[in-house]
Structure 1
Amino acid sequence: MPIVHIDLIEGRNEEQIKGLVSDVTKAIVKNTGAPAEHVHIVLNEMQKNRYSVGGNLKSDEK
């Protein structure tokens, strides 16, 4: 049972999220042989003010 964790910054719409999990599932199935119904994906969406790169919050970017 493959379990995939994806961390990303909030801001994608439902269609983008559905496309992401569909594409990731297909890649896991193709490369591991696991059935799609056994592929688990956990999405963690972070607020921009809870993620920093180089000491700068993503929410401060223009």
Structure 2
Amino acid sequence: MPLIQVTLIEGRPMEAKAELIRTLTEAAVASLNAPREAVRVIVQEVPAAHWGVGGVPKG
């Protein structure tokens, strides 16, 4: 069972996250020949204040 984990800065619309989940599932099915019902996608959202780039918080 493929498990795909994605970490994003919070704030994207639910529609965008749903499309990401769909697209990642399709990629796993196509590239791994995995049954669609076996693919799991976990999207974790992190507050911008907890996300640092170059030593500086994004939020």
The TM tier, using the shorter chain, reads over 0.9
Can you give the 5+ residue segments of structure 2 that lack an aligned partner in the other structure? none
Question: 1:29, CA displacement in angstroms?
Answer: 0.2
Determine helix, strand or coil for the equivalent of 1:19.
helix
User: Which stretches of structure 1, 4 residues or more, deviate above 3 A after TM superposition?
Assistant: none
TM-score (norm 1): 0.91
Question: 1:52, CA displacement in angstroms?
Answer: 0.2
| Identical aligned residues as a percent | 36
Q: CA RMSD in A?
A: 0.5
Q: How many residues end up aligned between the 2 structures?
A: 59
Can you give the 5+ residue segments of structure 1 that lack an aligned partner in the other structure? none
